Amino acid sequence: MRRRKPTSIKDKNKTSLKSSFNALVYLPRFFKEIWKVNKGLFLLAAFCRGIGALLPVVILWLGKLIIDEIILQISLELPDYTVLWTYVGVEFALIIVSDLMSRAISLTDGLLGDEYNIATSITIIKKTNQINISLLEDSEFYDKLERARTQTTSRVGLMSNVLGQAQSAISIATLVAGLIYFEPYLIILLVLSIIPSFINEVRFSQQQYSLARSWTSERRELDYLRFIGANDKTAKEIKLFGLTDFVVDRFKNLSEEYYQLNKTLAIKRSALGFLFNVLGTLSYYGAYVFIIYRVLSGVITLGELTFLSASFNRLTRNLQDFFSKFTRISESALYLKDYFDFIDISISSKVKEDCPLPKHIKTGFEFKDVHFAYPNSEQDILKGVSFTLKAGEKLAFVGQNGAGKTTLIKLLLRFYEPTSGEILLDGVNINRYAIAEYQEFFGVIFQDFFRYEFTVRENIAIGDIDELENQDKIEEAAALSLAKEVVDDLKYGYNQQLGKRFTNGQELSGGQWQKVALARAYMKDAEVMILDEPTSALDARAESEVFDRFIGLTEGKTSIIISHRFSTVRQADRILVLEHGRVVEIGTHEELMLNKALYSELFTLQAEGYQ
Ligand SMILES: Nc1ncnc2c1ncn2[C@@H]1O[C@H](COP(=O)(O)OP(=O)(O)OP(=O)(O)O)[C@@H](O)[C@H]1O
C-alpha cells in the first residue's frame, strides 16, 4: 500500500485556521444542548463562575486597603485597628468563598460533563441505528462517526474551557478596569507584554493541529499496527509467521517521520515561547519600575502599588492563558462540527413510506430487474436480477463466492437500495413500508453474525430482546439450535458471561458461537426466516442437524437459505443459482438436475467428493 505523503504544515495552516474559527459557530448549539441536559446544574455552574470571576479583583483591592490602613495606623498616635481587622476578616472570608467556588466549579463541570457525555453517547447510538448501512460503510463518513464517538471527552473539556473563558473574560475586564482607574498607561505595557506570546501560541498550536490532522490516516495506520502487533487475536499468526520484525519495522518507519516533524515543531515552540516570555517579563518589570517611581513621587500609595503590580502580573498570566485556551477551543470546536454533522444526517427516505405493512404476506416478494453497485464502487454486483419468492416458499440461493447472494439479502432487508429496478412485497415497492416495521418481518442469521460479549441468555434473547426474561422461550430456542449442549457445559449456564473482555468470561469455539447465534433466529416467530450460511464452523453432524431442524421448522414459512451444502439446498422448494450477479437458473432440484447446467455440475462435483 502506497502511503500518501502528508502535505506541508504551512500549506494547511491557512485553511485549518479558517475552518477552526468557522467551527466556533457551533458553540451556541453546543451550549443549548448542555442547557437541555440539566438546566439547574448549568445555572449553578454559571453562577459559581460569575462569583469566581469577580473575587480576584475584590481580594486584590482588599489587599490594597489593608496595606494602606496599616500605614495609616502606624502614622497615628492613637491607632484604631477596628477597620484593619474588619478588612482582614472580610479578606479571609472571601478567600474561603473563592476556594469554595473553585471546588464547586470543578464539581459542577464534572457532573455536567458526565451527564452530557451520557446524553451524547445515547444520541450517537440511536442515530447510528437510524442511519443507512450504506452510509456507515463509507470510509469518510465512518471517520466522522469515529471522531464523533471518540471525542466525547474533548467535548466535555471544551465545555469547561469555554465556561472558563467566560469567567476569565470577566476577571480580565475587572482587572483592566482597576488598571485604567489608577494608571491607564499601564495598559500599553500590558498589550506589549501579551502580543508576542499570543502570536506564538496561535501560530504553533495551529501548526501542531495541522500536523496532527494531515497525518490522520498515518496515525490510524500506526494504531492498527500497534493493535495487530500486540493483541491476543493476532498473536498466533504473528508468532508463527515470524511477523514481529515486519510489524515493528513498518511501525518504526512510519512513526519516526511523524516524530521528527513533531520534534522540530516542539523545539521551535519551546525556544520561541521562552523568548517571548522574557519579553513579557521585561514589560512586567517595566510596569513595576513605573509603579515604584509613581509611589516614590507620592502619586500613588503603597497599597495601590501592591494592587497594581499584583493586578498587572495576574492580568499578564490570565491573558496568556485566555489566548492559548482560545486557540484550543477553536480546535476542539472542529470536533463539534463532526458531531453535529453526524447527528444532522437526514434520515428521511427518498420515497414516501405511505403503505401499511400487511399483517401476513399474501403473495410474496418479487425482484424486478434489480441492478446494484455498492456505494463508491464502479462494479455492478447485481446485473438485472429478477425472481419471485412466493408466500410460504422455501428458496435456496447457491453460487460461487462473491456471486452476490448475501447482497441480495441486504437489498431485501433494505440495508441498501437497488441502483435500478425494484423489489416488491405483495405488489408494492418495499420502500413504501415503514422501514423499522418492515425489518421486523425478518428473522435473519448472517454469515458474519456478531459475537456479543454479553451473557448466553442475552446473546440468545437478542433475537427478540423483549423476551429477555422468558427463560422457557430462551431454552426452547437453544434446544432447537443445538446451543443447549453448549450451555449445559458452561459453569454459569445461561448466565455465563461470554468472551474474554470481562471478568469470568468464557470464550467459545467458532462452532459453539454459531449454535448460540442460531438460537436468535428461533426467538421470534418471524414472517420470513433467512439463514445465510452461519454453519461453516459446525462439525458435519451438527451442520446437518442444524439445517434439518431449520428446514423442518420453516415448513410452510417464507424462508431463504444460503448454503454451499447441496444436500441441504436440494430440500428447498426452489433453488436460485447466481453467477456473477445474474440469475442463471431457478427451479426445483429435479428441474435443475435435468437442466444439466451450472447447478447439476456443482451438485455432481460435490456428490463425487463425498464418495
Ligand atoms: N460492503 C461492500 N462494499 C463493497 N463491495 C462489497 C461489499 N460487500 C460485498 N461486496 C462485494 O460484492 C460481491 C458479492 O458479495 P456477496 O457477499 O454478496 O457474495 P456471496 O455470493 O454472498 O459470497 P460468499 O459465498 O463468499 O458469501 C463481492 O465481490 C464482494 O467483494
- What is the predicted pLDDT for the residue at 196? 78
pLDDT tops 80 at residue 362: yes
Cell numbers placing 564: 454451499
Range in 6-15, 104-113, 461-470, 575-584 with the lowest mean pLDDT = 6-15
pLDDT tops 90 at residue 584: yes
Residue 347 CA to ligand 1 center (angstroms) comes to 25
Distances in Å between the Cα of 155 and the Cα atoms of 193, 286, 354, 401 are 32, 40, 39, 45
pTM of the entire predicted model:
0.70
**Residue of 137, 383, 385, 405 to test ligand 1 pocket, by largest number of atoms within 8 Å of CB:** 405
Residue 205 CA to ligand 1 center (angstroms) comes to 44
Higher pLDDT, 233 or 482: 482
**Residue of 401, 407, 447 to test ligand 1 pocket, by largest number of atoms within 8 Å of CB:** 407
Q: Residue 350 — very low, low, confident or very high, per pLDDT cuts 50/70/90?
A: low
Q: Which residue, judged by its Cα, is nearest atom 26 of ligand 1?
A: 401
**Tens digit of each residue's pLDDT (9 = 90 or more) over 380-406:** 999 999 999 999 999 999 998 899 999
Q: Which atom of ligand 1 is nearest to the CA of 564?
A: 25
- What is the predicted pLDDT for the residue at 602? 87
Nearest to 23 by CA among 326, 338, 333, 335: 333
Residue 381 CA to ligand 1 center (angstroms) comes to 8
**Residue of 136, 141, 374 to test ligand 1 pocket, by largest number of atoms within 8 Å of CB:** 374
Range in 434-443, 547-556, 580-589, 592-601 with the lowest mean pLDDT = 547-556
List, in sequence order, the alpha helices (H) in 462-597: 471-480, 483-488, 510-523, 540-553, 566-569, 589-595
Residue 7 CA to ligand 1 center (angstroms) comes to 35
- What is the predicted pLDDT for the residue at 19? 64
User: What three-state secondary structure class fits 228?
Assistant: helix
Residue 404 CA to ligand 1 center (angstroms) comes to 6
Q: Which residue, judged by its Cα, is nearest atom 27 of ligand 1?
A: 401
Higher pLDDT, 436 or 373: 373
Q: At what angle do helices 302-343 and 244-296 cross, to 10 degrees?
A: 150
> Per-residue pLDDT averaged across 115-132, rounded?
86
Would you put residue 191 in left (φ > 0), alpha (ψ -120 to 50) or beta? Answer: alpha
Cell numbers placing 241: 509467521
Is residue 393 within 8 A of residue 572, CB to CB? The reply is: no
**Residue of 401, 417, 565 to test ligand 1 pocket, by largest number of atoms within 8 Å of CB:** 401
Q: Residue 534 — very low, low, confident or very high, per pLDDT cuts 50/70/90?
A: low
Is residue 455 within 8 A of residue 540, CB to CB? The reply is: no
Q: In 114-177, at which residue ranges do the beta strands (DSSP E only) sit?
A: none
Q: Residue 153 — very low, low, confident or very high, per pLDDT cuts 50/70/90?
A: low
The owner of cell 518589570 is 285
> Per-residue pLDDT averaged across 106-126, rounded?
89
Q: Which residue, judged by its Cα, is nearest atom 25 of ligand 1?
A: 401
Residue 581 CA to ligand 1 center (angstroms) comes to 10
Q: Which residue, judged by its Cα, is nearest atom 17 of ligand 1?
A: 406
User: Which of the listed ranges 11-25, 83-97, 334-348, 425-439 does the model predict with the highest average pLDDT?
Assistant: 83-97
pLDDT tops 50 at residue 564: yes
Give the whole-number percent of the chain exceeding pLDDT 70: 93
Is residue 588 within 8 A of residue 594, CB to CB? The reply is: no
Higher pLDDT, 92 or 22: 92
Amino acid at 272: L
Is residue 392 within 8 A of residue 360, CB to CB? The reply is: no
Range in 15-29, 411-425, 441-455, 474-488 with the lowest mean pLDDT = 15-29
Average model confidence (pLDDT) across the chain: 85
Is residue 64 within 8 A of residue 134, CB to CB? The reply is: no
Q: Which atom of ligand 1 is nearest to the CA of 408?
A: 18
pLDDT tops 50 at residue 1: no
Q: Which atom of ligand 1 is nearest to the CA of 407?
A: 18
Q: Which residue, judged by its Cα, is nearest atom 5 of ligand 1?
A: 374
Residues with CB under 6 A from ligand 1: 137, 374, 377, 381, 399, 401-407, 447
Contacts with 284 (C-beta within 8 Å, 6 or more apart), sequence order? 189, 193, 312, 313, 316
User: Which of the listed ranges 48-52, 280-284, 299-303, 305-309 does the model predict with the highest average pLDDT?
Assistant: 48-52
pLDDT tops 50 at residue 78: yes
The ipTM is 0.96
Q: Residue 130 — very low, low, confident or very high, per pLDDT cuts 50/70/90?
A: confident
**Which domains does the chain carry?**
26-183 (no CATH), 187-299 (no CATH), 358-441+565-611 (3.40.50.300)
- What is the predicted pLDDT for the residue at 16? 54
